[in-house]
Amino acid sequence: MSRRLYLYIPEKLTTSTAAKFIDFAVGSDAQPVIASTGLVNLDVTPITADANDVRNQSAQWQSLTKDATEIATRFRFRTGGNDLDSRANRDIGCIVGVLSQPQSQNKKVMLRGFADSSGSHAANCKLSQNRADMVKKELALEGLNFDQVVGLCDDAPIAPNDREENKEKNRRVEVWVK
C-alpha cells in the first residue's frame, strides 16, 4: 500500500531551510534512507518485474514487457484525464538522467499507458493511449526517442479497482527500456 506525501512551501520563502529539506527529500541522496525505513522511495533505477508481479495476469502486458526493464517511476493521472500531475516534471528529469547514463544510451524506450476500470472498455483504450502519447510528447521535448507507445486500456491493474485510491494507482504510464 502507498500514499503520496505532499510537501507545500510558500511562493516566497522567508528561510531556505524548508526548500533545502524538500530538495533533499526528493533528491537522490535521501532515497536510500527512505528505502531503509520501509517507505516507498523515488529511486528511478531500472528494475525487472518478478514472477509475483500482479501485472503478470495480463498476457498482453507480459508480451510487451518481455526482456525489458522498467524505470521505477510512474506518471499518474486524474479520472478521465490525460494531464500530467504536479510530480511529472521532476519524474521527466529523473528519467532523462537515467537514460543518459552510458549503460542506457542505446536502449529502446517503451511507454505503456493504463486506465482504471471506470467507463467503457473502448473509452479506457483511447484514454490509456492518450496518456502514453502525452508522456511521449513531454519526454520527446527532452530528446528521447521511442520504440513503442502503447495504451493497454484497463488491462494489468496494479491495484484492485474497488476504491478511488486504488483506481488512482491504475491510471498511469510506465516507462520501459530494452
Look at domain 44-177 and name its CATH class. alpha beta
- Report the alpha-carbon angle 52-47-86, nearest 5: 105
- Name the more confident of 51 and 39: 51
- Report the alpha-carbon angle 24-71-148, nearest 5: 140
Average pLDDT of the chain is: 84
175 HSE (CA, 13 A, CB side): 27
pLDDT at 44 over 70: no
Domain boundaries, the chain: 1-42, 44-177
Confidence of residue 23 (pLDDT cuts 50, 70, 90): confident
pLDDT tens per residue across span 64-105: 999 898 988 889 998 888 898 777 888 898 888 888 888 888
pTM for this predicted structure: 0.75
Structure confidence at residue 99 (pLDDT): 87
pLDDT at 110 over 50: yes
pLDDT tens per residue across span 124-145: 999 999 999 999 999 999 989 8
**Residues 44, 98: Cα–Cα separation, whole Å:** 7
- Name the more confident of 18 and 54: 54
Confidence of residue 116 (pLDDT cuts 50, 70, 90): very high
